[in-house]
Chains A and B, each alone.
Chain A
């Protein structure tokens, strides 16, 4: 059939499994002419091993398998692993959360910290004044330090 020849040609020139699978599904599996060029189940079955004595094979296999699983603690180990894993995971989460908390708190405390920088509160504490007098009269005082500077300004103002 000319259509089958075209499909055969398209199958041969594009070596993509997706494309070939598409051609098989859409044409070859439905076309009696193409199916005749493939081995049938019966033909394939004659080439394959089918009749294995199940009982004899089962017994001989079981002897080996039983010996292996009797001396191998593999499944018990993996069972124990499964039982232990959830607490480990829970502790893991707790440790990770605590670590993140410490990082966050450290960041909040340290974000404004720069070496050599003195905060306004510290300056006020250092220059705490009991009383300021201007011209013999009590006065108001304001301590001021510009940001990033070592200079300290004390502003005194007469009480009016």
Chain B
């Protein structure tokens, strides 16, 4: 069924049509969320919030624009909210940790699960850069399309993408050359 028909059906209250929209966009949305948030649980939460928000605000969607971009824009905002929440929680944990147990030596090897090299590399990028890189590499978006999702100018989107690609290249050359081979 055509996407616009699914949207029209959902607006009329068809749960089946909306379920098809969710199933169509869940995989790319999940991939984008996992790349931005780097955590599957958070990504699932963000995607669930995304589709609930899409359902509630479907009447405000402008059919003249890309539905996919509209969905990604909402998802990007949700991901930023998750990152903010995570940062606040980390600050709190750090503060509490410092005040209550300053003498206990930290042992990151035991407390944290080892991260994969791609995850480490992506952590060096800002959320906007990761989003721009993911849309460019996975979806084939250009600067103008990325700017629609990030809600910035095409020039700014171009800079985010450029910086992401430059950082990744530099890191790959510095010590992660093995990743290039697969």
Contact = CB atoms under 8 A, between A and B. Distances in A.
A39 B138 contact: no
Does more than half of chain A's interface fall in helix, strand or loop, or is it mixed? helix
Contact of B23 (A17, A28, A58): A58
Contacts of B35: 48-49
A65 B23 contact: no
A62 B52 contact: no
A16 B166 CA distance: 17
B27 A58 contact: yes
22 contacts: A18-B156, A20-B162, A37-B169, A38-B162, A39-B169, A44-B133, A44-B164, A46-B180, A48-B134, A50-B138, A52-B34, A54-B26, A54-B27, A57-B47, A61-B22, A61-B47, A62-B19, A62-B22, A68-B52, A69-B52, A69-B56, A75-B56
B159 interface: yes
A82 interface: yes
Given A54-B26, A61-B26, A46 B165 contact: no
A64 B15 contact: no
Given A39-B168, A57-B27, A82 B59 contact: yes
B14 interface: no
Interface in A49-79: 49-55, 57-62, 64-66, 68-69, 72, 74-75, 78-79
A65 B48 contact: yes
Given A52-B30, A60-B44, A74-B56, A41 B137 contact: yes
Interface residues of B, number: 46
B25 to A, nearest CB: 8
B77 interface: no
A66 B17 CA distance: 12
Interface residues of A, number: 43
A61 B156 contact: no
A72 B52 contact: yes
B140 to A, nearest CB: 8
Contacts of A66: 15, 19
Contacts of A18: 153, 155-156
Interface in B141-182: 153-156, 158-159, 162, 164-166, 168-169, 172, 179-180, 182
